[in-house]
Amino acid sequence: MKKSILLFLVILSQLVFAQNVILNKVEKTHSNSDKFFYKINSETVSAEYLGELEVQGFSDDDVNVFGMVYKKAKEIGANAFSWKPFESIDGTTQTFDPIHYKLNLYYLPQTDFRKEDNVIYLISSPYKKQTISIDNKNTVFEPRTFRKLKLENGVTTISTRKLLGSSIKISAQENQPVQYFQLSAFSVNNNPYGNAGINLKSGDITKLEQSYGQFLTTIYELKE
């Protein structure tokens, strides 16, 4: 009896935490060879709507989830996305739910993406709270959160504050594109979906490719 209950609980947990990525609406497709998959604000950018993708279930393996999302999006030629909020019965917009969400898919010429120069995003670990030093000021990062920093004059120093941890120094430069960094202590591998994924690692601070970084800043919570 105990074994049956245990088996039931194991199967139930797998169902609850199983992740499904569904291409549930296709308006049209676009033929292109773009490897990137960038986030846009559909209210301020004119993009060609291609369809809708739905993610059901939660997984803390963000690399794998992004790989599934990326693969589905590329089936119809999408190179851009935006989060599609659910509406409540009273018409209000619901907050983001990592267990169930939808993404609108678009195509946009690369020259039409809006630039965000001299900005860095610091993205937390998905697993644990961390204290990071930013210009000698301690900042607490809760799991699955991120912060946005605007680079001004001078050098910005970011450190993991560990004896064998790492630090990076970044300064504002002319036409310097946006950068994404994840603060983590575990190793990660390259992803099987072209150039979109993690590509540089320095100790506890990993520089992310823009597509993956923008996906994380969609499913993680912004902290001011």
Q: Which domains does the chain have, with CATH numbers?
A: 19-112 (no CATH), 119-222 (2.60.40)
Q: pLDDT value at position 224?
A: 86
Instruction: Tell me, yes or no, if the pTM score tops 0.75.
Output: yes
Averaged pLDDT for residues 180-201: 59
Which among 110, 117, 120, 118 is positioned nearest to 45, based on CA atoms? 110
pLDDT digits (tens, 9 = 90+) for 116-125: 999 999 999 9
Among left, alpha and beta (phi > 0; psi -120 to 50; other), residue 130 is beta
Return all residues near 143 (Cβ < 8 A) that are at least 6 apart.
Answer: 124, 125, 126, 127, 128, 129
pLDDT digits (tens, 9 = 90+) for 84-135: 999 888 878 899 999 999 999 999 999 999 999 999 999 999 998 999 999 9
